[in-house]
Structure 1
Amino acid sequence: MDMNDLTAIELARLDAICLDYECALRAGNASSIDSVVEKQGGKYADLLRSELIAVRDEIAHAASAAQETTFSTFATPSVPADTKSSLAMGDQIGPYVLTNVLGQGGMGIVYQAMDMRLNRKVAIKMLAVERVSRDPQQLASLRERFEREARAVAALSHPNIVELFDVGISDSNPFAVMELLDGETLDLYLAKTNCDAETVRKIGAQVADALAVAHRSGVVHRDLKPQNIMVMRRKDDSLHSPVDSSDAAPHQTVMVKLFDFGLSRSAGVMFDNAVGGDKPHSDAQTREGVVMGTPGYMAPEQARGEVAGPAADIFALGCILFEAFYGKRAFDGATPTARYASTLEAVPDTDPVVRRSDLALADLISECLHKEIVKRPASAEEIALRLRQRGPMLNPIQQQSAAGYGAGVFVRRRFMELLAGGSLGGLAVGLAFPDPTESLRGINSLAVLSFTDTKGESTTLAVNAAGLPLGDQVVDRGDELAALLVNELSRLKDVNVTPFRPLVATKPEQFRHIGAELEVDALVTGSFKTIQIGQKSFDEIRLQIVSSRTGNQLWGQNFLSPSGESLLEQSRFASELATAVGRSLTSSDEELAPPHMGAFSCLVDGVSRADPDSPAGMRKALSCFQSARRQDKGYTAPIAGIALTSITLAGQSPSSESLELIQAARNSVSDALALDKKSIDARLANAMLLWQTLYRYDEAAAELDKLLIDAPNHWQVRHQYGLLELTRGNAENALRLLREATQLNPMSVIAKVDHARSYWFLGNIERAIVDAKRAQAREPENPHPRGLLIDIYEYRGQFDLAAAEHIDIEFGTRVTPETYFEKRRASVLEQHPYGPFGTLLNQAILDSRITGHVGDATLGELADATPPMLPLLLSGHPSFASARLLPRAAEILPERSVAIDSPWLGTRTIAARG
Structure 2
Amino acid sequence: MMDLNDLTAKELARLDAICLDYEQALRSGDAPSIESLVAAHAGNSGELLRKELIAVRDEISTEPTERPHSAFSFTTHAIPVSNATPEAVGRKIGPYLITCVLGQGGMGIVYQAVDTRLDRKVAIKMLAISNSTRDREKRESLRERFEREARAVAALSHPNIVELFDVGVADSNPFAVMELLEGETLDLYLAKTSCDANTVRRMGAQIADALAVAHRSGVVHRDLKPQNIMVMQRSSDRKGGATNGSAPHGISVKLFDFGLSRSEGSLFDAAPGDRTREGVVMGTPGYMAPEQARGETAGPAADIFALGCVLFEAFYGKRAFDGSTASARFASTLESVPDTDPVRRRVDVELADLISECLQKEIGKRPASADDIATRLRRRGTELDPIHQQIESGYGAGVFARRRFFELVTGGALGGILAELTVQYHNETLRDIGSLAVLSFTDTNGRATRLASMSAGQPIGDQTTDRGDEIAVLLVNELSRLKDVSVTPFRPFVASTRDEFIAIGNELDVDALVTGNFNTVKRGEKSFDEINLQIISSRTGNQLWGQTFLSPTGESLLEQSRFASELAAAVGRSLTSSDSGPSPTNQGSFSCLMDGAGRADPDSPAGLRKALLCFQSAHRQDKHYAAPLAGIALASITLAAQSSTEESIELIQTARESVSEALALDRNLPNARLADAMLLWQTLYRYEDAAKILQKLIADEPNYWQAHHQLGLLELTRNNQADALLRLREATQLNPFSVIAKVGLAEAHWFFGNTERAVTDTIRVRDGQPENRHARGLLIDIYEHRHEYELAAAEHVDVDFGPKVTVDSYFAKRQTLDLDEYPYGPFGTVLNQAILNSRLTGRIDDAELGKLADSTPPMLPLLLSGHPSFASAKRLPRATEILPLA
Tell me which residue corresponds to 1:125.
Answer: 31
Aligned in 2, Cα 1:106/1:610: closer, same or farther, shift over 3 Å?
closer
Query: How big is the shift at 1:458?
Result: 0.6
CA distance in 1, matches of 2:868, 2:652: 27
**Of 125, 128, 131, the match for 1:285:** 128
Match of 1:642? 632
Deviation at 1:107, TM superposition (A): 11
Tell me if structure 2 keeps the 8 A contact 1:103–1:109: no
Contact 1:546/1:554, CA 8 A, preserved across alignment: yes
- Note the alpha carbon deviations across 1:839-865, whole angstroms, 9 max, x for none: 000111111111111111110110000
Residue pairs, 1:554-703, within 5 angstroms: 554-587=544-577, 593-703=583-693
How far apart are the structure 2 equivalents of 1:606 and 1:270? 55
Shift of 1:350: 9.9
Deviations 1:286-325 (A, max 9, x none): 5669xxxx9999999999999xxxxx9x978846259976
**2:821 is matched with which residue?**
831
Q: What residue in structure 1 maps to residue 481 of structure 2?
A: 491
Aligned positions of 1:153-172 closer than 5 A? none
Residues 82-117 of structure 1 show CA distances to partners (whole Å, capped at 9, x for unaligned) of 9xxxxxxxxxxxxxxxxx99954499545599xxxx
What's the secondary structure of 1:747's corresponding residue? coil
| Other-structure match for 1:94 | none
Q: Structure 2 vs 1, CA of residues 333 and 599 (structure 1 numbering), >3 Å: closer, same or farther? A: closer
Q: State whether structure 2 residue 793 is matched by structure 1 residue 803.
A: yes
1:284-683 map, 5 Å: 285=128, 318=183, 320=185, 327=207, 355=234, 358=237, 439-587=429-577, 593-683=583-673
Pairing of 1:868-879 with structure 2 (within 5 A): 868-879=858-869
Change (3 A) 1:594 1:638: closer
User: Aligned partners of 1:562, 1:262: CA distance in 2, in Å?
Assistant: 64
Specify which of 876, 883, 887 is matched with residue 873 of structure 2.
Answer: 883
Number of residues of Structure 1 aligned to a counterpart in Structure 2: 619
Q: Deviations over 1:503-551 (max 9, x none)?
A: 1100111111111111111110000001011111111000011111111
Which letter does structure 2 place at the counterpart of 1:716?
Q
Aligned equivalents of 1:801, 1:284: Cα separation in 2: 37
User: Using a 3 Å threshold, how does the CA distance of structure 1 residues 112 and 864 change in structure 2: closer, same or farther?
Assistant: closer
**Residues 723 and 535 of structure 1, relative CA distance in 2, 3 Å threshold:** same
Which whole-Å deviations, capped at 9, do the CAs of 1:336-383 have from their partners, x for residues lacking one? Answer: xx99xxxxxxxx99999x85894658999999x9xxxxxxxxxxxxxx
Distance 1:132 1:434, change over 3 A: closer
Distance 2:591 2:649 in 1: 29
Looking at structure 2, the residues matched to 449 and 661 of structure 1 have their Cα atoms a distance apart, in angstroms, of 32
Q: Distance in 1 between matches of 2:678 and 2:784?
A: 30
Tell me if the contact between 2:515 and 2:535 (Cα under 8 Å) persists in the aligned partners: yes
The CA deviation at 1:623 is 1.0
Identity %: 53
Q: Go from structure 1 to structure 2 and tell me whether the alpha carbon gap of 1:531 and 1:579 turns closer, same or farther (over 3 Å shift).
A: same
Pairing partner for 2:694 from 688, 704, 709: 704
Kept in 2, the 8 Å contact 1:615–1:652? The answer is yes
CA–CA distance in structure 2, aligned partners of residues 270 and 879 of structure 1: 40
Shift of residue 786 of structure 1?
1.1
Mark the CA change 1:652 to 1:299 in structure 2 (over 3 Å): closer, same or farther: closer
Q: State the distance in 2 between where 1:833 and 1:599 align.
A: 36
Decide whether the 8 Å contact of 1:433 with 1:556 is kept in 2. Answer: no
After superposition, the Cα gap between the structure-2 partners of 1:629 and 1:102, relative to the gap in structure 1 and judged at 3 Å, is: same
Distance 1:797 1:108, change over 3 A: same
Please tell me the residue identity of whatever aligns with 2:848.
T
Secondary structure of 1:801's match? helix
- How far did 1:270 drift? 8.4
Contact kept, 8 Å, 1:101 with 1:110, in 2: the verdict is no
**Alpha carbons of structure 1 residues 533 and 873: separation in structure 2 relative to 1, 3 Å:** same
Q: Which runs of 5+ in 2 are unaligned?
A: 6-13, 36-49, 87-100, 111-124, 133-145, 151-160, 172-176, 190-202, 221-227, 242-247, 257-385, 394-413
C-alpha separation in 1, matches of 2:709 and 2:817: 32
Equivalent positions of 1:162-311 (< 5 A) are 285=128
Q: Output the amino acid matched with 2:727.
A: L
Deviation of 1:770 after TM superposition, in Å, equals 1.5
Task: Determine if contact 1:397/1:436 at 8 Å carries over to the other structure.
Answer: no
CA distance in 2, matches of 1:583, 1:322: 35
Query: Which residue type is aligned with residue 635 of structure 1?
Result: Y
Displacement after TM superposition at 1:219 (Å)? 5.8
Q: SS state of the match for residue 882, structure 1?
A: helix
Q: Give 2:803's aligned residue.
A: 813
Partner amino acid, structure 2, of 1:458: A
Q: CA deviation at 1:455?
A: 2.2
Question: Cα distance, 1:768 vs. partner?
Answer: 1.3
Name the aligned partner's letter for residue 741 of structure 1.
Answer: A
Deviation at 1:602, TM superposition (A): 1.1
Question: Secondary structure of the residue that 2:443 maps to in structure 1?
Answer: coil
TM norm structure 2: 0.61
Q: Quote the offset at 1:752 in angstroms.
A: 0.9
User: TM-score, normalising length from structure 1?
Assistant: 0.59
Kindly indicate whether the alpha-carbon contact (under 8 Å) linking 1:435 and 1:554 is maintained by their aligned counterparts in 2: no
Tell whether 2:773 aligns with 1:783.
Answer: yes
Per the alignment, residue 57 of structure 1 pairs with none
> Of residues 829, 853, 867 in structure 2, which corresponds to 1:863?
853
Q: Is the contact between residue 718 and residue 741 of structure 1 (CA under 8 Å) also seen in structure 2?
A: yes
User: Is the Cα–Cα contact under 8 Å of residues 654 and 840 in structure 1 kept in the other structure?
Assistant: yes
1:125 partner letter: A
Aligned equivalents of 1:692 and 1:851: distance in 2? Answer: 27
* Cα distance, 1:773 vs structure 2: 1.3
Unmatched runs of 5 consecutive residues or more in structure 1: 1-78, 83-99, 114-121, 154-160, 163-184, 191-203, 223-260, 272-281, 307-311, 340-347, 370-393, 401-405, 413-431, 897-914
RMSD between superposed Cα atoms in Å: 5.2
- Name the amino acid aligned to 1:654: S
Shift of 1:891: 0.9
Structure 1 residues 837 and 396, CA, compared in 2 at 3 Å: closer, same or farther?
A: farther
What does the per-residue CA deviation read over 1:708-740, in whole Å, with 9 as the maximum and x for residues that have no partner? 211110110111111111111111221121111
The code of the aligned residue for 1:889 comes to A
Partner of 2:547, secondary structure, is strand
Give secondary structure in 2 for the equivalent of 1:125.
coil
Q: 1:767 to 1:512 in 2, by over 3 A?
A: same
1:21 corresponds to: none
In the TM superposition, what is the alpha-carbon distance from 1:285 to its structure 2 partner? 3.3
Within 2, Cα distance between the matches of 1:861 and 1:124? 77
* Cα 1:556–1:654 shift into 2, 3 Å: same
- The DSSP-based 3-state class of the residue aligned with 1:530 is strand
Partner of residue 193, structure 1: none
CA distance in 1, matches of 2:80, 2:877: 54
**Deviation string, structure 1 residues 185-213 (Cα, Å, up to 9, x no partner):** 899xx9xxxxxxxxxxxxx9xx99xx79x
